[in-house]
Amino acid sequence: MSYIPHTADDRRTMLETLGLSTVKDLFTDIPEAYRYPELKIPDGLSEMDVKEKLSSLARKNHASEEGLWFLGGGLYRHFIPSVVDAVLSRGEFFSAYTPYQPEVSQGTLQAVFEFQTMVAELYGMDVVNASHYDGAASMAEAALMARRCKPGRNTIYLDEGIHPEYKEVLQTYLTGTDALLKEGPPGEDAACFITAYPGFTGEIKDLKSLGNRTHEAGALFIVHADPLACGILESPGACGADIVTGEGQPLGIPMSFGGPTLGLFATTKALIRKMPGRVVGQTMDASGRAGCVLTFSAREQHIRREKATSNICSNQGLLALAAAVYMAALGKQGIRETAQLIYNKGVYAASVLGSLEGFKVKTEGPFFREFVLTCPRPAREIADELQKKGIFPGLALDRFDGFPENDLLVCVTEMNSKDDIDSLAAALGEVSR
């Protein structure tokens, strides 16, 4: 099918205006030997055929809506209120571009401005930008920013409990620098110390003491914080964070096989000029009417080019909008209640699964949404057996280097009922025998 409006007559009119007989004459700057190559791509299909083809591919996947779902590990199944997709589906939002002309983009600009405000509330920070690609890219950009803030300090220290894939992304982003990546408490050469809140396996650390130790070492304190968890947890800002990054997917964004998701990035007033990415600010027109613009663009690559704070250009505007609608829909009470509900369900699941014969909850202390369950035999075997029955008990952690093969990362959200959790317990009890 075609989305081109031109009829044969239209094309003739255009070619006549140009004084040409064929459209091929417009391509003569291309070396002739390479022009109009053979193209082994089949002809286009009708809308009906395309839909059928895509639908048959989609059916080859297992959607999380079917069966018992306890699989997380960095990407989560949460409830998405109907209003989120209703707003996102408005063409005026999804078919717009980066708001370079503010007078005709106040919709996107105000939505992002309010997004920044809500994330700033959850994180307890001064400044939030208009979004990075994903949580890992945010964390990597935060590490690069720390090096700009702390010249001469070349090491990025990571707390234990950083998602293994995040570490890989950090490593890739640091390839172009002479920075080192180390795990452990920050030393004298530390540009920053990065911790996750909660950690990859769900544990909630005491941020305040980590922050104090980091600042004593003269480094920036970077917290990768789950925005939904911040509905009940003390905000990273109140614990002394200099930069907060996060993955915004839990805020109303579908899993979509891992992307697109939403990188969150927040910092303090003092560091704003070192911050990468787009930020929306409020200002006035000549008649004193308030309006929003993209601001602090002097840090960006379209002005500073090779001296820019980052190469980030297109961002995740539509997903920032999704997160904004989600946060506004849940509101002050709803975000706290949802976080509390997730916390309750996690504690209940741990108590039920941990009391099964042969199983043990490995996570010590409080956790949010996920915990490690040590199984009586390899977790992958157990998961494989249950998945055949449509039960997804969690993530076998031996997927990543350095994790014991009996450890299963169980994820419990507000979407899991008590019955689901009890059924999982029964199923685990059976396969462990």
Interactions with another protein, residue window 152-181 (CB under 8 A) = 163, 165-166, 168-169, 171-173, 175-177
User: Scanning residues 195 to 234, which ones bind another protein (CB under 8 A)?
Assistant: 204, 206, 230-234
Question: Which of 243, 248, 246, 249 shows the shortest CA–CA distance to 266?
Answer: 243
Q: Which two tokens stand for residue 57?
A: 């591919």
Asked if 398 interacts with another protein (CB under 8 A), we say: no
Question: Which of 263, 316, 254, 227 shows the shortest CA–CA distance to 80?
Answer: 254
Q: Which two tokens stand for residue 401?
A: 């280097």
Min separation Cβ 218 and another protein, Å: 25
Nearer to another protein, 217 or 322 (CB): 322
Min separation Cβ 430 and another protein, Å: 19
CA 202 centroid distance within chain: 17
Rounded CA separation 109/114 (Å): 9
Nearer to another protein, 190 or 396 (CB): 396
Nearer to another protein, 10 or 430 (CB): 10
Min separation Cβ 378 and another protein, Å: 14
CB contact set of 2 (below 8 Å; sequence gap of 6+): 44
For tokens 């209640």, name the residue: 337
Q: Which residues of 91-110 are buried (b: 16+ CB within 10 A; e: fewer)?
A: eebeeeeebeebeebeebbb
User: Scanning residues 92 to 121, which ones bind another protein (CB under 8 A)?
Assistant: 92-108, 110-114, 116-118, 120-121
User: Scanning residues 324 to 363, which ones bind another protein (CB under 8 A)?
Assistant: 325, 327-338, 340-341, 343-348
Residues in the chain: 433
User: Scanning residues 33 to 72, which ones bind another protein (CB under 8 A)?
Assistant: 34-37, 39-45, 47, 50-51, 53-65, 71
Nearer to another protein, 62 or 377 (CB): 62
For tokens 């070192």, name the residue: 274
Asked if 300 interacts with another protein (CB under 8 A), we say: yes
Rounded CA separation 263/248 (Å): 6
Q: Which two tokens stand for residue 421?
A: 């959790």
Nearer to another protein, 30 or 187 (CB): 30
Asked if 364 interacts with another protein (CB under 8 A), we say: no
Min separation Cβ 364 and another protein, Å: 13
Asked if 267 interacts with another protein (CB under 8 A), we say: no
CB contact set of 216 (below 8 Å; sequence gap of 6+): none
Min separation Cβ 116 and another protein, Å: 5
